[in-house]
A and B are shown apart, each in its own frame.
Chain A
């Protein structure tokens, strides 16, 4: 049914379809919450460590399938995809402890059961395939792409927003000589020769809530770590 739609519908209706797809995604998010009300936080947040950082930067959302392609997939194809993903997970889990392996196997078998159950209902709910793929502990794939592109744009704007001190290049060799940084009013990261944000200078007195005046100045340069180079579209710092 979705295939016939995509062929027969002209372009101007596609635009309406895209907007209606966005609305459908938002509605699907709301139905997801009703079904996942009893999910434990640990189950959902298993990818985060104690400090709240993501464990294992290997992307779980490597396959970028568009919404339209998802809608065109048959339930058998979705089940095959789920099996492929399970095999990939098993391959990763071989590196871990056997005790953890058992837990993963149990979770995987439960996942297979879930996918087999969902495949039966999928035939009844063809328009909601995006919802069911999202139910498999995944974000809607286009949303992940959107998130990363947006963050890229924001970080590149932040990088381009501040310019180094006008006398930076002339005086950089003085810095290597260790003549001190107070004269130029900024700190230097000697390892990467990038100026650091003024707001993190420890000598400034801390603002107390009682004495706050709400100045709100935005000063400083942006110090980007090596990890952010991946997001800066290949620009060298």
Chain B
């Protein structure tokens, strides 16, 4: 799920700590929403919503329909600005690789979104359907239910979900640190390789000059 480069959403960004848009970004997004609101109802119906997401992201049609169903929690066939804002934040968190941070910071709203049946618990198959939103792999999802389903009912309540988000953010921080270390090591190796290459060139030059001087003599 990627935002198309050069689109309006591409110019927005999330605050890295709180995973929210700035006030200026929200104002811009509000203007954008009102422009899209062709019916002047302060809402977007499913057709407008579909074409908006299809134009701005590379999401599959099936996923777009699923997202609309998820956001249309009043079952009116249209979504308001609150839901639109939530969606944009999720999409931008995906774009900026802040999915786990977003889930941690906004665990309650995310939990309510994934709680499709309204039972204050997240079902395994339901989470499986929407894992693409937060870039969660199948194996990670299985491990999640194995490690964090403390009650053993194959459902996640809010506390278990919150624990999972805390664990994921720490894991993602560790991953980033490791990536940085690997990049630094690669740069050091590149630097060493360059030095070796220059020394080799110097040797070649010096031997070449010596041979010339001998031939002249």
Question: Which residues of A are interface residues toward B (Cβ below 8 A)?
Answer: 22, 25-26, 29-30, 32-33, 36, 39, 41, 44-45, 48, 51-54, 139, 143, 146-148, 150-151, 153-155, 157-158, 161-162, 197, 199-200, 206-210, 212, 214-220, 222-225, 227-228, 231
Encode contact with A along B50-88: 1 for CB under 8 Å, 0 otherwise.
111011100000000110110011011110010000000
Chain B: minimal CB distance from A55 (Å): 11
A26-B65 in contact (CB<8A): no
What chain A residues lie within 8 Å of B25 (beta carbons)?
Answer: 29
B45 within 8 A of A: yes
Query: A147, A153, A155, A210: which contacts B117 (Cβ < 8 A)?
Result: A210
What chain A residues lie within 8 Å of B76 (beta carbons)?
Answer: 206
Encode contact with A along B112-144: 1 for CB under 8 Å, 0 otherwise.
000011110000000001000000000000000
A51-B42 in contact (CB<8A): yes
Q: 4 extra interchain contacts, Cβ-Cβ under 8 A, other than A155-B48, A218-B65, A222-B38?
A: A44-B27, A53-B42, A154-B51, A220-B47
Query: B6, B11, B30, B65: which contacts A217 (Cβ < 8 A)?
Result: B65
B34-A53 in contact (CB<8A): yes
Chain B: minimal CB distance from A214 (Å): 5
B30-A161 in contact (CB<8A): no
A161-B36 in contact (CB<8A): no
B24-A29 in contact (CB<8A): yes
What chain A residues lie within 8 Å of B51 (beta carbons)?
Answer: 154-155, 157-158, 161
Q: Which residue of A lies closest to B5 (CB)?
A: A22
- A25-B11, A154-B52 known; A33 vs B22 contact (CB < 8 Å): yes
Query: B46, B81, B116: which contacts A212 (Cβ < 8 A)?
Result: B116
B167 within 8 A of A: no
Chain B: minimal CB distance from A22 (Å): 8
A158-B48 in contact (CB<8A): yes
